[in-house]
Amino acid sequence: MVHVVAAAAGVSVFLAKSAAAFATVKYAGAAYLCFLGVRMILDARKDTDKGKNNNGTHVPMVHPRRGALRQGILTEVLNPKTALFFSLLFPNS
């Protein structure tokens, strides 16, 4: 929905025409994906250490929902190719 509104408002056209804006969104998205990957690796290591009981056997860890919707929205908003796609659907003059 963010890209639909941005395309309807003409923001996607600016992103398509400005190489600096496109690169900014592209690198911000790449940095966010790297952040998510590092956090996932660190969480997995932490869970491995906590996931054993006194006998040394593995106990499965239960994870609460950690903002999966927020992660999905940020990942999609920071995808410049989606903005370009929607700028083609909603062309502004």
Residue 79: is it exposed, middle or buried by C-beta count within 10 angstroms (0-12/13-18/19+)? middle
Q: What is the pLDDT of residue 50?
A: 61
| Sequence-separated (6 or more) residues with CB below 8 Å from residue 26 | 80
**CA 33 remoteness from chain centre:** 6
Please give the structure tokens belonging to residue 6: 């941005």
Residue type, 54: N
The angle formed by the CA atoms of residues 44, 48 and 52, to the nearest 5 degrees, is: 155
Beta-ladder partners of 5: none
Q: Is the pLDDT of residue 12 over 90?
A: no
* Domain range annotation of the chain: 2-53+66-88
pLDDT tens-digit map of 37-90? 999 899 888 866 665 555 655 555 555 676 888 888 888 888 888 888 887 777
Please give the residue that has the higher pLDDT: either 18 or 34: 34
